[in-house]
Amino acid sequence: MRVVFLGPPGAGKGTQAKMLSSDAKLAHISTGDMLRAAVAEGSDLGKRVQSIMDSGQLVPDDLIIDIIRERIAKPDATAGYILDGFPRTVKQAEALTAMLAKQGAAIDAVVSFELDETELLSRLANRRGAESRADDDVTVQKERLRVYKEQTEPLIEFYGSRGALRKVDASGSVDQVFQGLKQAVGR
Ligand code: AMP
């Protein structure tokens, strides 16, 4: 099973991805985690992306597409995976479709975590301080949300018109959301 998680920053995608990954034995592929690891290592990639990430912008499509191409070719991804944080633009989604088509494969489900703006802002406020991420500063959070609406939200329509989209109410407790998620992916 190949699953894509979509949703604004603060919707709880990372937590749900970890839970589904252990429940369904799927690799959890988080592009944000991979990039943060590169920054922490001080690799060339890390140096290239740090300031972009700290400002709440997206790193270049070509760069992240190459990272995903390599990652999904690793042995632990053959049994299936959850893409958490990729694709984030229509260009990335088209590249993913093309990449999979070459292997005769496709994405099985795209889960959209739905949360209204008031709830989202209060969750983001709670996250400040709780996690020490450089991009959790309030100005950067707002920028991340703006970038999400502008560049990532169109993917809901993109996948909706291709019939793969499943909406999950992300406003409940972690366990409630997980139940909805399991239903959405047929587990
Ligand atoms: P995340 O942890 O998924 O919120 O990602 C943290 C940051 O990493 C984002 O704000 C972007 O700067 C960068 N990033 C992660 N995934 C992508 C992606 N698919 N495309 C572009 N930038 C990304």
Percent of the chain with pLDDT over 70: 95
| Residue keyed to tokens 């889960």 | 111
Q: What mean pLDDT comes out for the span 49-56?
A: 96
**Tokens read off for 117:** 């703006």
Identify the weakest region by mean pLDDT among 45-49, 74-78, 130-134.
130-134
What does pTM read for this prediction? 0.94
Please tell me the distance between residue 130's alpha carbon and the centre of ligand 1 in angstroms. 19
Q: Give dist(CA 161, CA 28) in Å, integer.
A: 26
Q: List Cα–Cα distances, 120 to 19, 134, 175, in angstroms.
A: 21, 19, 18
User: Per-residue pLDDT tens for 131-166?
Assistant: 666 666 788 888 999 999 999 999 999 999 988 899
Helices (H), the chain: 13-24, 31-41, 44-54, 61-72, 90-102, 117-130, 138-147, 154-160, 174-184
Confidence category of residue 181, pLDDT binned at 50, 70, 90:
very high
List pocket residues of ligand 1, CB cut-off 6 Å. 9, 31-32, 35, 52-53, 56-59, 64, 85-86, 88, 92, 135, 144
**Which residues, in sequence order, are CB contacts of 86 under 8 Å at separation 6+?**
4, 29, 31, 64, 68, 92, 96
Q: Give dist(CA 27, CA 110) in Å, integer.
A: 16
User: Catalytic annotation on 166?
Assistant: no
Question: What count of residues does the chain have?
Answer: 187
Q: Which amino acid, 85?
A: G
**Tokens read off for 159:** 């996948």
**Residue nearest to ligand 1 atom 2, measured at CA:** 32
User: Catalytic annotation on 123?
Assistant: no
Confidence category of residue 19, pLDDT binned at 50, 70, 90:
very high
The pLDDT assigned to 123 comes to: 81
List the catalytic residue out of 18, 133, 166, 182: 133
Q: Give dist(CA 108, CA 89) in Å, integer.
A: 19
Q: Give dist(CA 48, CA 1) in Å, integer.
A: 32
The 8-class DSSP code of residue 131 comes to B
CB 44 within 8 A of CB 161: no
The pLDDT assigned to 124 comes to: 78
> For residue 179, is pLDDT > 90?
yes
The 8-class DSSP code of residue 136 comes to G
